[in-house]
Amino acid sequence: MTDPVRTVCFVIGLILAVVTVASVFTTLVIPRATSSRLLRSVSRLLARLVAPLLARLDTYEAKDRVIGLVGPLALIVLFGAWLALIMLAFSLMIWWVGGGQLSAAVAQSGSSIFTLGILRGGHGAERALDIVEAGIGFLVIALEIAYLPTLYASFSARENAVTLLASRGGVPAWGPEVLSRHVRFQNVDELPQLYATWEQWAAAVSESHTGYPSLLWFRSPDSSRSWLLALVAVLDAAALHLALAPGSAPSQARLFLRMGINCLRSLADVLRLPYELDPLPTDPIRLDEGEFAEGFELLESVGFPIEVTRAEGWRHFKGWRVNYEPIADQLTELFMPPPAPWLVSRPQMGPASFPMIRNRTPEDPQGRSGWGSRR
């Protein structure tokens, strides 16, 4: 190869090394939303690769197991891509400095990045590059190892609240069911604390998932649960509470709605998803009045303290949901949570099922009476 070609390759290698190290630094050291471009690309590529396989699977549970591989696998691919790019970058620089064969430069670079010491440069400039690459490789691997405990700690904290919601909001979680169960269990006075807990949860997820966006692709251990599904269910519950009982709804419901909407917008910003920053309460939404009527009738049947007509409640509920439904729908298409009422329809993932609860007693073992669900 001519000297100009080697010089161009050295410049390319230098730029590639700087860009890759900057990507590692911003992703693992600086927890900010600017770090997710490579991860987004890897995750979207893997999601496209598994899409043909999903079409061949019959049940949602089987599809969930396949989709569940995307997040962890994307993380492993990202870690490997960083090391491969650094090795390639230093291979090009060593090739220019050493003047030998490119294959020998690649082998020397691989030996250096993993600090094996099998091959090393023959003179000062090559050895200096070996030392720099070994230091960078050691630092990147150390940061990757330290990254995992932080990641799984945030994942565990997120899933704790999602798991607890199963008994309060049903499986799959549904906003009207959250309110109806608190009426049935005679613990409506606990709703303010529920909203306050989920306000804190939304703030924590907004902080952790924008700083470490790989968490977005990590699915719940149980295929019937999802962090996105749970968040939308509690948002719907708070919006219904404010729309149907404006006089008695706790102030925590409004605070949670504000924080939940901000959380979804933060995640949309990380993923570069479009949304209306200030939608009007009269703007149309995907959910129709017939679907809303199902939730309204459920709350009527359990004696929820409704203070307005169904038409008025629908009008105010729309005014709340327009703020988060478009983002929730885009995230639903991207992350594929389990099918559930009021989520965007996804025939390829199966039909939505309503949560069911039965009041089984020794006198009524089948739970046909009392406050058993009508679904």
For 69-89, write each residue's pLDDT tens digit: 888 888 888 899 999 999 999
Give residue limits of the domains in the chain: 3-146, 155-349
Q: Please give the angle made by the CA atoms of 212, 216 and 222, to the nearest 5 degrees.
A: 130
Percent pLDDT > 70 in the chain is 93
Query: Quick one: pLDDT at residue 374?
Result: 47
Query: Quick one: pLDDT at residue 196?
Result: 97
For residues 137 and 88, is the Cβ–Cβ distance under 8 A? no
Query: Quick one: pLDDT at residue 164?
Result: 93
Query: Quick one: pLDDT at residue 200?
Result: 97
Rounded distance between C-alpha atoms, residue 7 and residue 367, angstroms: 79
DSSP state of 284: -
What is the mean pLDDT of the segment spanning 139-152?
88
For residues 81 and 20, is the Cβ–Cβ distance under 8 A? no
For residues 237 and 175, is the Cβ–Cβ distance under 8 A? yes
The per-residue pLDDT for range 331-352, each reduced to its tens digit, is: 999 888 999 999 998 887 888 8
Rounded distance between C-alpha atoms, residue 351 and residue 169, angstroms: 19
Q: Return the half-sphere exposure (C-beta side, CA atoms, 13 A cut-off) of residue 236.
A: 27
Residue 2: which pLDDT band, with cuts at 50, 70 and 90? low
Rounded distance between C-alpha atoms, residue 39 and residue 157, angstroms: 22
Per-residue pLDDT at 58 exceeds 50: yes
Where is pLDDT greater, at 7 or 278? Answer: 278
Side chain identity at 246, as an amino acid letter? Answer: P
SS3 category, 14: helix
Question: CA–CA distance from 116 to each of 88, 111, 112, 254 (Å)?
Answer: 17, 5, 6, 58
Per-residue pLDDT at 32 exceeds 70: no
Where is pLDDT greater, at 261 or 120? Answer: 261
What is the mean pLDDT of the segment spanning 99-122?
80
Q: How does the average pLDDT of the chain come out, rounded?
A: 87
For residues 273 and 332, is the Cβ–Cβ distance under 8 A? no
Query: Quick one: pLDDT at residue 102?
Result: 80
Per-residue pLDDT at 371 exceeds 90: no
The per-residue pLDDT for range 274-331, each reduced to its tens digit, is: 999 999 999 999 999 999 999 999 999 999 999 999 999 999 999 999 999 999 999 9
Query: Quick one: pLDDT at residue 373?
Result: 46
- Residue 371, both tokens: 């406050």
Rounded distance between C-alpha atoms, residue 230 and residue 214, angstroms: 19
Query: Quick one: pLDDT at residue 4?
Result: 80
Rounded distance between C-alpha atoms, residue 85 and residue 12, angstroms: 11
Residue 36: which pLDDT band, with cuts at 50, 70 and 90? low
Residue 151: which pLDDT band, with cuts at 50, 70 and 90? confident
What is the mean pLDDT of the segment spanning 44-65?
81
The per-residue pLDDT for range 207-220, each reduced to its tens digit, is: 988 888 888 889 99
Where is pLDDT greater, at 268 or 103? Answer: 268
